[in-house]
Structure formats: structure tokens, C-alpha cells
A = this chain, B = another copy of it.
Amino acid sequence: MTTTYDLVVLGGGPGGYDAAVEAAAAGLKTALVEVGELGGTCLNRGCIPTKLWLGATEAVDELAAQARMRVAAGEISIDFAALQGRKDKVIAATRKAMATRLAQLGVDLVPGRGRVASAGTLEVDTANGPKALHYSHLLVATGSRPMSFPGLEPDGARVLDSTGLLALAERPKSLLVVGGGFIGLEMAQAMHRLGAKITLVDALPRLAGLEDPEVSRVLETAFKRQGWDLRLGVKVASVKTRGEHAVLALDSQIGGGEELSADCALIAVGRRPNSADLGLEALGAKLSGAGHIQTDKHLLAAPNVSAVGDVNGRTLLAHAASHQARYVVERLLGKTTAPYASGPVPSILYGSPEVFRAGVLAEEAKAKGEAVLVSRAQLIANPMAQAHAATQGFVKCVWRESRVVGITAVGAGVSRLACLALLIIKLGWTREDAAGFLFPHPTLDEALQAALLADKEAV
């Protein structure tokens, strides 16, 4: 007898796992195919281990801030081997909890690499040989992997991608970081707190190039103050392991040909989708030039095939994948027929300072010719920022026709504002709404209120 699954999920990261859980909980016969480990990049090689590094080292920056005020002094030493051990233990425990949950819900977990053999059948290359899974619907959530460019390839020695850096057994005393996006910045911050001298190189003229330019300026000031060597707007010719060092050669034209050297180098120049050899093209699926699986307004890539998360290239964030996955399951269950709408997707940079963004950026709106206004408040007037001796930064609101449509912030602890800001944007608050809300005192959240109440300016 042949089982046909209501849903086969390919990939056990945040999107795939959440889809399998939601589907099975709703009574769908569900299988989950995963070639590696449950939890995907986020849990095993991305957000979670990075946050474990940052969480474990937060006292270092808290102390540094007070030491600058001459209020505190001291030394904190992190046992890197113990930190790595704890990271691996926490992640393994989470994976185990995920597997238990899947089993409780009756999801068939099939370890192996999956590939569509024909419409309705996924063939999985398992340790016990090939296994065919028949599906009514296939959800592809295969994620992404670190990108590299010629000359900037991780070599398994001292030139590493994010996966390699997170797996280090010994703490480097110095680190070259190629790429000033959120991945590079979070890892560089953790390594800085662990005592590594940071040199960061990016071809863009500013850090966090996708964020508000004012945010970039605050980040640059903060990291320079911490002693980082920032090389922005320069081109990297190559990064190679040479003996006991990683050596980065700047381009002779755009970088002066200088050589930079450190114990290790991290290549964090983006991620590329895991979309090759899935057999989807035969079903009619199309890949973009960058390799992302193209999806329609219902997140369909082909008849009875959806794609969610990094692999469709819409938003490379775990919570975006989960949100898309839940939509696909709701649609399968007949609970919605509407097109997929993410609404504003918040993004967060952790560390010190932190950054968050939700909704529209002023520059984006301006580029589209939209008439928006901005209002802002500096953190320096906020008592909680003062208490942590971390008063650099601001909250900035973007307004369209008297309603707030975007909020971004930079500064110590501003990630705490992200969910509230997102909900405020979804509600389309006016200035009056902000004035009538009872913000508790003292909170960093009052800086968000101050920004919402501040005078509006043209962009």
C-alpha cells in the first residue's frame, strides 16, 4: 500500500519545521525531509549560535560602558571552549525538542536529500537507499548557504564563512571581516567582546548598507570608538590563508593594494539559495538569475508546490520563513484564499549598539517619489539610556499622510522596541494615538514615544 502525504516538506529549518507542525496539528498527513539537522541555518549555523555568543558576552560591553564613565572597573574572561560547548549543548537540546514535537504530532521525519522524481513524488536519498514519498502538496524550504566570490572562498583553514567561524575551537586574537551587513556585524561584535581585534572591509561606503544612512553613521562611530579598523568603500582582491594567518589583499585601484592580516577571516558577503538539483524545473518552476525559486502571489512555485523562506529570496529572515510557511498551511487547509501578504517584516541587529527596522525607510520612500515626513528622538534624553551609559543613537519615524509607516532605531537595547513599533505601524498610529498611550516610566520605550511626538520634517 502506498501512502500519499497531504504535505511533504523539504527542509527542516524555521519555515519547514513550522509548516510541518502546523499541518500535522491540523490533521494533515505530513512528512518532513531534512538532509542535515533540524533547525536549519537559524538554529545550527546562524541566528541562535550568534545570539548565544552575544548573550554570553554582553557583560563585557555593559562593563565597558560604565568603565568609560569611570564608575566601574574589572576584567571579564570568557572561556571560549566552554562557550562553544554550551552553544552546542543548547542547540542540541533544541533540536531534540523539535524532533520530539514532530514525533508527538505524527510527522514522519525522513533523513536524507530529497529531489522531485515526478509530479507528486519526491525521492529521498536516505542512508538505507532511495525512498519515494508521494505528496498532494510539496513545500520547499531548503534555505540558503553562505555566498562566496572568486578570490573570496572559504578554504577550511583560516578563511571561513559564518558556519566555519561558529565552529571554531579556538578564539582568534584578530579577525578580518569581509562584509558589513548584519551577519558580519553580529559576529564581529561577538568576536570583539571575546577579545579579537576587528578589521572590517566592505565595498559599500557605509556599514549596514540596507539600513537608514543615519543608522550607519551611528554604527560606524560606535565601532570606531571600540577600536575597529573600518575599511569602507574598498574592493577586496583576495583573501587567502598564508601560514598561520589569513591575508586580505585590497584591490590595487579601489583600496590601494594594501595587505591586511589576521588570525582568521570571515567572509560574510551574502547568502545564496539552496535551489540546485531539486527537480523542480521539470514541474514548471523557474529560478531567478540569483537562483531563487520564483513564487507567485500564493507562494506557489509550480502546481501543488510552494516555496518559502530564504530559497524564494523574498526576505532572508527566519521569522519571514515561518510566516510564509504558516500561510501555505492555512491555504492548504482552506482557511484563506487571499494572496500572501507579509506586511512589514521587522529586522533586528543584536549587539551594542542594536538596530531594528520595521516598515518603510525614509530613503526608500523618497526614491519612489513618495511624500513622507520624518520625526526623531535622540536616546541621550532617555533615562534608561543614561542608566546604561549608552546614550548614542536615536529612534526615527516615517509618516505618510499623518500615519506612521516606518520606524527604525539604533542604540543600546533598541531591539526591545521592535515588536511594539511593528504593531504601531500595523495599526497606522497618528500622533494623537501616541500621545494617548500610557508609556511606563522610565523605559527606553519612551524614546519611541518621544520620536512619535516630535515635530515632523520633510525628508
Chain A contacts to B: CB under 8 angstroms: 14, 42, 47-48, 51-52, 54-60, 62-63, 66, 69-79, 82-83, 86, 90, 94, 97, 317-320, 322-323, 326, 342-348, 356, 381, 383-384, 386-389, 415-416, 418-420, 422-424, 426-427, 435, 437-443, 445
Contacts and interface: CB of A to CB of B under 8 A. Distances in A.
From A347, A437, A438, residue with most partner B Cβ within 10 Å:
A438
Main secondary structure of the interface of A (DSSP, over half): helix
Contact of A423 (B82, B423, B435): B423
Contacts of A418: 440, 443, 445
A322 B51 CA distance: 37
B415 A437 contact: no
Given A58-B388, A59-B60, A317-B440, 10 more contacts: A14-B441, A52-B383, A55-B387, A63-B76, A73-B79, A319-B441, A320-B438, A419-B440, A422-B437, A423-B424
Given A56-B66, A342-B438, A440-B419, A71 B83 contact: yes
A82 B70 contact: yes
A226 to B, nearest CB: 16
B348 A443 contact: yes
A38 to B, nearest CB: 14
Copies in the complex: 2
Contacts of A386: 52, 55, 90
A83 B389 CA distance: 11
A72 B77 contact: yes
A76 B77 contact: no
